[in-house]
Amino acid sequence: MRYLDLADALRARIAAGDVGPGGALPSEGELGRGYGTSRVTVRRALDILRREGLVTSRRGSGWFAAVDPVRQPLGRVTTVEAAVEAAGATPSREILSFGFVEATPAVAAALGADRGADVLCVERLNRADGEPFALVTVWVGADLGAELSRADIERAPFYDVLPLRGVDLATVHQTITAEVADAPTARRLDIAPGDPLLFVRRVTHDASGAPVLYSEHRYPAARTTFEIEFSLNSGVLHHA
């Protein structure tokens, strides 16, 4: 059997819901025996389905049918936890690192700090129903960062913690691009190196317009989508 034919057969099985508990597919060896083909052919077929966003792989656990992505609205600010909860999943967070570092040129520019200045850097892994969902790194200026503890950040998002410290959060500038997962990122997100990611950069300002947070969010592309709704009642409609 050619790998394209096998991809078609597996695509039909997934569409019909013919998968195991938790969306698990048979192992590569079981698929090879079941379809009378080699594991190389099986893997090529599964790679096609992964690029289509239909399956995902987890190290040491095998292949799984992809779940519906979490939809995150653009046009209003939301936390990762709120987006996961709105999708009907249970959010959780794990702080991977917490400490002061020297600001890189990009971080310094985003926070309006001097290059090499001390900034608080927090790296965390967000999960949805126990599965890795987003890898997030947040940088905060030293003055504000000195008022925050690891326990604060383990307990709640920055957007909940900072107002308790008297910070009036007001505006957010966000950009969304794409990149591929390097080996360390893939390991933390339980995906394969080279898998596509949505890469979000966000600068959050206080009411005076000063930047107080810079964050980078990396989402496996199959696990989330960003949506925005436009109004056609503005009086001006540009035709392509």
Instruction: Based on the fold, state whether residues 206 and 125 are members of the same structural domain.
Output: yes
* Gap between the Cα atoms of 18 and 24, Å rounded: 10
Q: Give the domain-ending residue among 26, 44, 65.
A: 65
* Gap between the Cα atoms of 188 and 50, Å rounded: 18
What was the pLDDT predicted at 67? Answer: 63
**Is residue 131 scored above 90 in pLDDT?**
no
Total domains in the fold of the chain:
2
**Is residue 139 scored above 70 in pLDDT?**
yes
Confidence class of residue 223 from pLDDT cuts 50, 70 and 90?
confident
Instruction: Based on the fold, state whether residues 107 and 57 are members of the same structural domain.
Output: no
Count, residues in the chain: 240
Instruction: Based on the fold, state whether residues 165 and 217 are members of the same structural domain.
Output: yes
Whether residue 49 contacts residue 11, with contact meaning beta carbons closer than 8 Å, is answered with yes
> What is the CATH number for 199?
3.40.1410.10
Which residues are bridge partners to 199 per DSSP? 177, 218
Domain range enclosing 186: 70-227
* Gap between the Cα atoms of 227 and 79, Å rounded: 15
Whether residue 41 contacts residue 1, with contact meaning beta carbons closer than 8 Å, is answered with yes
Kindly give the residue spans of alpha helices, DSSP state H, lying in the chain. 3-15, 28-35, 39-51, 80-86, 105-111, 142-145, 150-155, 158-164, 183-189
Instruction: Based on the fold, state whether residues 89 and 11 are members of the same structural domain.
Output: no
**Is residue 19 scored above 70 in pLDDT?**
yes
Instruction: Based on the fold, state whether residues 93 and 147 are members of the same structural domain.
Output: yes
Instruction: Based on the fold, state whether residues 143 and 210 are members of the same structural domain.
Output: yes
What pTM did the predictor assign?
A: 0.71
**Is residue 158 scored above 80 in pLDDT?**
yes
* Gap between the Cα atoms of 141 and 121, Å rounded: 9
Over residues 44-57, the pLDDT tens digits come to: 998 888 777 777 77
**Domain contains 118:** yes
Judged by average pLDDT, the poorest of 32-36, 77-81, 177-181, 198-202 is: 77-81
- Angle at the Cα of 182 (from 177 to 186), degrees rounded to 5? 95
What was the pLDDT predicted at 52? Answer: 74
238 vs 1 pLDDT, higher one? 1
Judged by average pLDDT, the poorest of 61-65, 125-129, 132-136 is: 61-65
Which residues are bridge partners to 153 per DSSP? none
- The 3-state DSSP composition of the chain as helix, strand, coil percent (nearest 5) reads 30, 35, 35
Instruction: Based on the fold, state whether residues 147 and 111 are members of the same structural domain.
Output: yes
Judged by average pLDDT, the poorest of 21-30, 86-95, 105-114, 153-162 is: 21-30
Judged by average pLDDT, the poorest of 36-40, 75-79, 137-141, 177-181 is: 75-79
Other Cβ atoms closer than 10 A to 218: 17
